[in-house]
Amino acid sequence: MPKTIMITGSSTGYGKAAAEFFLDKGWNVLATMRRPESATFKDTTGRLKLLPLDITDAASIRAAIASGIEAFGAIDVFVNNAGIGLASAFEATPDSMTREIFETNSFGVFAACQAIIPVMRRQGGGVIINVTSSAGIGAMPMVAVYCASKWAVEGFTESLAYELEPFGIKARLVEPGYAPTTSFTANSGDRMNGLIPEDYAAYAQAYFGKMANYPTPYCTEKEVAEAIFAAATDDGGQLRYPAGPDTKMVAALRWTTSDAQYTETMRKTFSPQGGE
């Protein structure tokens, strides 16, 4: 009998790529999004069900989970993928925007986990996968609020992994790199307009220029889908699944050097003088 996965934020980007990847692997897929009527999946297997889910609405999350169980009998893997991006100078970022980012990227993840945990506990097990970012491994300038929202989920998931282990539930992290044409840019929208004051313009221009000429390739949607599949099917105790060469580079630097070496390398990397 096929296993079932539920994925939030599946209309585009990583979520859609993961949904299609799991369909190809023979899984039942519950692809959730705010407006499923606008989805463009071309599925003929009968193993795909589109469901409305607003990650900022706890009642919507519970309703989607109930509908998913009604459709396929169980939810073996739950993926918190829905998220929004933000690039800004922090001093120019309105408090309301900070709260908006956290409502989706952090509190939405918490609410979804709180809804799916009792379901998995009664089932006798399952896997929860929270999608964060390379910015959840190593902070970068001009994305302080976004980093904070992802670091919150990193710590939350690590704690949850220990807490849920006695119930046969695995909590895991998939950490994509930066994909300019997918989730971060597409889901940032107009909220970034006007959030880089003139005093920051030169620094921001130099920084974004460096990001456009990154020393490794950026991750792809396929690499993220593959990392989600690995996290969903791994019987071991691995917590983090970096996706893409850019994330793996940051992870290697973070976890194989001292804190002083790491921060000095990053400081030079982000210096407008190119490492002086």
The residues annotated as belonging to the active site are 146
Q: Is 26 left (phi over 0), alpha (psi -120 to 50) or beta?
A: left
Q: Report whether 52 contacts 32 (CB < 8 A).
A: yes
CA distance 91 to 168: 44
Contacts of 252 (CB under 8 A, 6+ apart): none
SS3 annotation, the chain: CCCEEEECCCCCHHHHHHHHHHHHCCCEEEEEECCHHHCCCCCCCCCEEEEECCCCCHHHHHHHHHHHHHHHCCCCEEEECCCCCCCCCHHHCCHHHHHHHHHHHHHHHHHHHHHHHHHHHHHCCEEEEEECCHHHCCCCCCCHHHHHHHHHHHHHHHHHHHHHHHHCEEEEEEEECCCCCCHHHHCCHHHHCCCCCHHHHHHHHHHHHHHHCCCCCCCCHHHHHHHHHHHHHCCCCCCEEEECHHHHHHHHHHHHCCHHHHHHHHHHHHCCCCCC
Q: Report whether 183 contacts 33 (CB < 8 A).
A: no
